[in-house]
Each structure stands twice: as C-alpha cells, then as structure tokens.
A = this chain, B = another copy of it.
Amino acid sequence: MRKIKVAVMGASGYAGLELVRILARHPGVRLAAVTSREWAGQPLASVFPALTRICDLDFILPDPEAVAGVAEVVFTSVPHQTAMEVVPRLLARDCRVVDLSADFRFKDAAVYEKWYQPHVAQELLAEAVYGLPEIHGYAVSRARLVGNPGCYPTCVILGLAPLVQNKLIHLDSLIADCTSGVSGAGRQASLGTQYCEVNEGLRAYKVAEHRHNPEMEQELSLLAGEPVLVTFSPHLAPLSRGILGTLYARLLRPQSEVEILNFYQNFYEDQPFIRLLPKGSLPNTVNVRGSNYCDIGVRVDGARGRVIVVAAIDNLHRGAAGQAVHNFNLMAGFPETTGLDLVPLIP
C-alpha cells in the first residue's frame, strides 16, 4: 500500500489527538506534520505522554504553506473561522483537505452565517462534500474538500436517514434527544467541564438552539426532498466518550419493528461501520467506544403510533476523527476500513 503523506492541523485538541491515534497506525499513511499554535516546538508526546514511542513528531506552527509543503492530504481540526482561512490556502497548494470544523458543512452560506459568523470562503461551499460516507461516499471519493460532519448530526442523520428517505414518518414530528460525553466540549480549560462540575450530574443545554440543529436539518431535508424540521435537545453526561441519540417520529402508518429494520438493512447494505441490532436490542455507547461503528436499534411504540430509533457512536471517533479517516480512505481509494479496524474498548 502506497503511503500518503498527511498532516493534522490542530493536533492538540481531542479530535486532533484522535486523528493522530488513528493515523499513527494507518498502513497507508505517513504522518508528516502536526500543528499546534500553543505547543509548537514541543514533542507531541510531551503534551500527550500516552503517545510516547508511538508518534515522535514535534508540533509545528499552523502555517498552511509549510504544511502543504510536506503533506498531500491535510486534516484541519482547527476552530471554525480559522478553518475557512486556512483551507483555501491548502487547496491553493494542491492539498486535498478533510476539514473537521463547521465551515464547509453547509450548502447555504446564509444558514452558516445565521448560526456562526460571516463566511469568507463561500466560493468553496458548492464544491465541498458533506462527509457522511454512507450517504455521500461517492462524492467524497472524488472530493478535493470534505466538510466532516458534526458529532451530533452524524448520530442523528445515520439514525433517521432510512425513515426519512423512505417516507415512513411525519416529517414534522422528528425529535432528537441526544446525550454526549464530555470530550465533545473540547480540551480547553473551562469551568463548565471541570471534573467536579460534570461528575454525578445530568443536564440539558442549548435545547433548540444548538448549532448542530441546522446541519441535521440540511441533510435530512436533502434525503427527504422536502424541508424536514428536527427538535434537537443535547445533554451532557459524566463520561468521556460517546453520544447516544434517542430519536422519535410519528409513523405514517403502523409498522412492525421487523418491517422497519428491513428498511434499515436495505439502506445500509454493505456499509462496514453500521451495525443494526437485532429486534429487542438497543445500543450502548460503550460498545462503540474507540471505534468507527454506529450501532442502531429500533423500537416501535404501537399504542402511541411512534417509532423510536436509538443510535450510538463514539463522538471523537465516528463523530470526528474516525469519520475523517473514513473520508480520507475514500479519497485515497483505500478500502474503507483501512486503519479503522479497531475493536471497541470494553470495559
């Protein structure tokens, strides 16, 4: 297998770290550079002692031209706004880019600007591919720029796509109740994610006002061919990794769990990272921890006319770095599971 030279910009956050964890063992990759504004000049392993003897690179400054000089493909795991400044410069030097920020996920600049800030690289939005491989895999394989999905949208879209595309449900009835581990909030010090502020607590936050809401609506609307609205409630729970999405919809007509599972089976046929649970089983985030799997279970509440889908992912892996590498594999023409055949860490 040819080794492609890749770089990770923004490797001192949790998603960047997870990228390094995966890429350090990826048989088709030579990790050429890792950047960090804060830690430039220091060994990555001094910031992350867990990677001692695994990655001996030093952090360098996040200079896109320098990075483009050593890498063919760049993962940009920098904050939104920074991404839209960096990515055009990487593309201009013939890098292909998988961007993990929100900057290249939206088709409509107005939607982006409503939820984030002014967009200074709008000319790239039409070209950028929303990097959900089960849905846009072919486009990804030909893309120069992939906008890697947000963690919550990954979970919600994968969980609802077969229902939405097959029009099994009322499209105005969707509710996505999601709970995330704490790593989703990133690695910077803040009071709200201090151990003692999170431990032994459960809370909802940004209900119906989270930035991932328009992202899931964009993609589900595309699948439906008409506007889809989702009431989205994110929660925080005391664990490091994992998102569990419990997704509600009203059925258009009575369906059994077996019938609905059939639609899922067809939709996700041959997808290596989707695991449909047998009737009667529901997923647990720990079963996908450290892996790129999305586990999905389906339950029908017949008496109340609803279907409830439960989907579980590892927010750092499938919800960020693993999915980015999946996109990279598609772009590189590698088998999809290359470097991603990791076994979930239980217990």
A184's nearest neighbour on chain B, judged by CB, is: B196
Contact with B along A233-256 (1 / 0, CB 8 A): 101011111111010100000000
Chain A 298-322 against B: per-residue CB contact (8 Å), 1 yes, 0 no?
0111011010101010001000000
From B189, B246, B300, B344, contact of A233 by CB (8 A): B246
Instruction: Please judge, given known A-B contacts A203-B282, A304-B208, whether A290 and B175 are in contact too, CB under 8 Å.
Output: no
Q: Are B347 and A21 in contact (CB under 8 A)?
A: no
Query: Which of A46-54, A91-99, A116-124, A262-270 makes up part of the contact surface?
Result: A46-54
Interface residues on A, range: 35 or more
Contact, CB under 8 Å: B275 / A48:
no
Which of A246, A272, A283, A343 has the most chain B CB within a 10 Å cutoff? Answer: A343
How many monomers of this chain does the complex have?
Answer: 4
Q: Is A229 an interface residue (CB 8 A)?
A: yes
Query: How distant is the Cα of A282 from the Cα of B343 in the complex, in angstroms?
Result: 29
Convert A256-287 into 0s and 1s, putting 1 for each residue whose CB lies closer than 8 angstroms to a CB of B: 00000000000000001001010001111111
Known: A190-B194, A202-B242. 15 other contacts (CB 8 A): A17-B346, A25-B343, A49-B283, A49-B295, A50-B289, A53-B293, A179-B235, A199-B240, A201-B287, A202-B239, A202-B244, A203-B282, A231-B308, A241-B347, A345-B345
Q: Which 4 A-B pairs have the closest CB atoms?
A: A201-B286, A208-B301, A196-B347, A203-B284
- Give residues in A with beta carbon < 8 Å to B: 14, 17, 21-22, 24-25, 48-54, 172, 175, 177, 179, 181-183, 187-191, 193-205, 207-208, 229-231, 233, 235, 237-244, 246, 248, 272, 275, 277, 281-290, 293, 295, 297, 299-301, 303-304, 306, 308, 310, 312, 316, 341, 343-347
